[in-house]
Structure 1
């Protein structure tokens, strides 16, 4: 199942430093990892700047869910849209969507980093609508909900999509300095013989 999930890198919740993100309730998060939200067909959405741990948390949550017996699949939003466009051209869209419904949870990473074409946005909207109250999604995005129109390009479609996605969702806001930036600075200071910043 871990191999089938196609995670880009192996991350677990144990290696995430919750003390760096006070807004995250660790206990609530560990409860999610047991999978009750999957049984209820609910979603999880991580919003925050680049480098704040969204993909780590999504992957760690996915890993825990796999250990609890669920089928999970990881894909970037851009790759998903490209696959949807290909399936649409080949007239295999229905079969494609049925294949993805076999997964209990789909992790869609980096929604909002690249705007989609009109057709791509419509197909992604249809994909989400097809899973609505049938199976869970975990989404990571660097955009506030008010900015999603810039990706989907249509106010009414964006409002309808957000209505479905947030209806039964656990939403986590991750703010603060980038973990990657913080780690890079620490390495530089250690290399130069200085003490890491507090």
Structure 2
């Protein structure tokens, strides 16, 4: 931080205000852009940068936590006639009223038609809105639950899953489930 004095830099670091530190450095590097702004205007810009950076870190954390199988986005959905996707319905799902009402959705279709992509795109969309999401292939989740029962962490896993705003279960019904994984 070449132009921020060490004391201010340390204080911003101790307070975990890296967004303000970065924005302050930018103001030092480009002083002509800010010369006619009042103290309050410059402070507001610093605070806005901090808020934006924190929001982005939250989205990044929620996205990593979800562990999506594919990096789908709703903007990249293919609405070709063969896909039979209704833009209005997708837009409605993206708004998340169903999620706020604690409703479920079931995405069905032939193998390879894009169900996983659509589920991950919806999940990514809800991460961007600040919702916590977990993505699991059903077989992997059942195995994880079985192992959690064995090692005593089952309750912790269930609490983690139930705290999520959205739980995506993929590949439901692809393989037969044996009796040991359902208990």
With structure 1 as the length reference, what TM-score do the two structures score? 0.58
Cα distance in 2 for residues equivalent to 1:42 and 1:23: 23
Match of 1:2 among 46, 63, 76: 63
Higher relative contact order (CA 8 A, sep 6+): 1
Q: Which residue of 2 aligns with 1:26?
A: 87
Deviation >3 Å, runs of 4+: 20-23
Cα distance in 1 for residues equivalent to 2:83 and 2:149: 43
Q: Per-residue CA shift, 1:151-192, capped at 9, x if unaligned?
A: xxxxxxxxxxxxxxxxxxxxxxxxxxxxxxxxxxxxxxxxxx
Q: Per-residue CA shift, 1:47-106, capped at 9, x if unaligned?
A: 111110100110111111111111111111111010011112223322221111121001
Matches within 5 A, 1:8-157: 8-21=69-82, 23-122=84-183
Structure 2 CA distance for partners of 1:94 and 1:113, relative to 1, 3 Å:
same
Shift in Å, 1:24: 2.6
Structure 2 CA distance for partners of 1:113 and 1:92, relative to 1, 3 Å:
same
- Which has the higher Rg, Structure 1 or Structure 2? 2
With structure 2 as the length reference, what TM-score do the two structures score? 0.62
What is the number of residues matched between the two proteins? 122
Q: Please list every run of 5 or more consecutive structure 1 residues that lacks an aligned counterpart in the other structure.
A: 123-198
Tell me the secondary structure at the aligned position of residue 18 of structure 1: coil
Higher share of residues assigned helix: 2
Higher share of residues assigned strand: 1
Tell me the secondary structure at the aligned position of residue 145 of structure 2: helix
